[in-house]
Amino acid sequence: MPRSALVLLLVIPLAQCTTPRPVAEPNGEVVVLLHGLARTSGSMKKMEKALRADGYQTINHDYPSTKNELPELATNSLAPVLERDDVAQAKAIHFVTHSMGGILVRQYLATHPKPPNLGRVVMLAPPNNGSEIVDKLGAQGWFKAIFGPGGCSLNTDHSNPPKQLGPVDYPVGVIAGDRVLNVITTFMVPGPDDGTVSVESSKLDGMHDHRVVHADHTFIMMKRQTIDLTRNFLKTGSFEGMD
Secondary structure of residue 199 in the 3-state scheme? helix
Q: Which of 168, 43, 38, 157 is nearest to 100 (CA)?
A: 38
pLDDT of 118-159, one tens digit each? 999 999 999 999 888 898 888 888 888 888 888 888 888 877
* Mean pLDDT, residues 9-35 taken together: 66
Check residue 122 and give its pLDDT. 98
Check residue 21 and give its pLDDT. 58
Average per-residue pLDDT in the chain? 87
User: For residues 136 and 52, is the Cβ–Cβ distance under 8 A?
Assistant: no
Distances in whole angstroms, Cα of residue 131 to Cα of each of 79, 154, 173 = 27, 6, 19
User: For residues 233 and 209, is the Cβ–Cβ distance under 8 A?
Assistant: yes
- 24-236 belongs to CATH 3.40.50.1820: yes
* Mean pLDDT, residues 20-36 taken together: 84
Is residue 6 predicted with pLDDT exceeding 50?
Answer: no
Confidence label for 65 from pLDDT (cuts 50, 70 and 90): confident
**Torsion angle, CA of 134/137/140/143, rounded to 10 degrees?**
-60
User: For residues 154 and 160, is the Cβ–Cβ distance under 8 A?
Assistant: yes
pLDDT over 90 percentage in the chain = 63
Whole-prediction pTM: 0.86
**Contacts (Cβ under 8 Å, ≥6 apart) of 242:** 225, 228, 229, 232
Euclidean distance between CA atoms 47 and 122, whole angstroms: 12
Beta pairing, strands 172-177 & 118-124: parallel
Is residue 49 predicted with pLDDT exceeding 50?
Answer: yes
User: For residues 69 and 153, is the Cβ–Cβ distance under 8 A?
Assistant: yes
Check residue 135 and give its pLDDT. 82
Per the model's pLDDT, the better-predicted residue between 80 and 11 turns out to be: 80
User: For residues 30 and 87, is the Cβ–Cβ distance under 8 A?
Assistant: yes
Euclidean distance between CA atoms 229 and 243, whole angstroms: 8
Check residue 162 and give its pLDDT. 81
Radius of gyration of the chain (CA): 20
Is residue 19 predicted with pLDDT exceeding 60?
Answer: no
Euclidean distance between CA atoms 119 and 116, whole angstroms: 9
Secondary structure of residue 94 in the 3-state scheme? strand
Euclidean distance between CA atoms 103 and 99, whole angstroms: 7
